[in-house]
Chains A and B, each alone.
Chain A
Amino acid sequence: SQELEQSPQSLIVQEGKNLTINCTSSKTLYGLYWYKQKYGEGLIFLMMLQKGGEEKSHEKITAKLDEKKQQSSLHITASQPSHAGIYLCGGRGSQGNLIFGKGTKLSVKP
């Protein structure tokens, strides 16, 4: 079965610093989704990537999917306290559902 591993598990950065979160799949990804979750709350959609080599940006967040479609990264530029939360990557399973990584907990120190 497909597994998604995220690294790091947690991250503490100083406000204004850049950071990168990685997501690696055990199988080729057919659709890679990034969500953000505040602790104990719902999932907020950030971006989805479909094609190998694809890169998307929204505000200060950039997500990339590698050519082999097995790795994705999420990069935040000039982090702010509002970026704090848990970032989840999800891949499409063969049943249409999303399979999620364990998440990366981001804390941003003012």
Chain B
Amino acid sequence: EPEVTQTPSHQVTQMGQEVILRCVPISNHLYFYWYRQILGQKVEFLVSFYNNEISEKSEIFDDQFSVERPDGSNFTLKIRSTKLEDSAMYFCASEVAPSSYNEQFFGPGTRLTVL
């Protein structure tokens, strides 16, 4: 069964450092998402991406964040200068199209720890 993959599974970084989280969406999917979940809190939407550009973003997704699809398979989330409050689980998701009839497939997540 096709699946969304994410690397690394766990990333530890120092405050102020840049991190890049990587995702490989399912190959025939066209819409990609990043969500985050701070420990013990809700899963929150960050950004959606379609046709090589951002479709929508939440207020969490400020200038410190960027997304890119550098090639035909990877989808990345970059945090330019990490803060302590960026520590969270980051999930990538993909789907064929955003419809109530489609499943949104989630990756296993990357746990980011900012020290």
Contacts and interface: CB of A to CB of B under 8 A. Distances in A.
Interface of A: 30-31, 33, 35, 40-43, 45, 48, 50, 88, 90, 92-93, 95-103
A64 to B, nearest CB: 16
Contacts of B111: 40
B48 A95 contact: yes
A68 to B, nearest CB: 15
B98 to A, nearest CB: 3
B41 interface: yes
Contacts, number: 63
| A contact patch SS | loop
B98 A96 contact: yes
Contact of B91 (A42, A45, A50): A42
A96 B56 contact: yes
Nearest to A29: B100
Q: How large is the interface on B (under 10, 10 to 19, 20 to 34, 35 or more residues)?
A: 20 to 34
B25 interface: no
Contacts of A101: 42
A92 B106 contact: no
14 contacts: A33-B103, A35-B106, A40-B39, A41-B108, A42-B107, A48-B100, A92-B100, A93-B45, A95-B45, A96-B48, A97-B56, A98-B43, A100-B43, A101-B42
A98 B39 CA distance: 19
Contacts of B108: 41-42
Interface string B101-115: 101111111010000
Of the listed residues B89, B99, B100, B101, the one surrounded by the most CB atoms of chain A closer than 10 A to its CB is B100
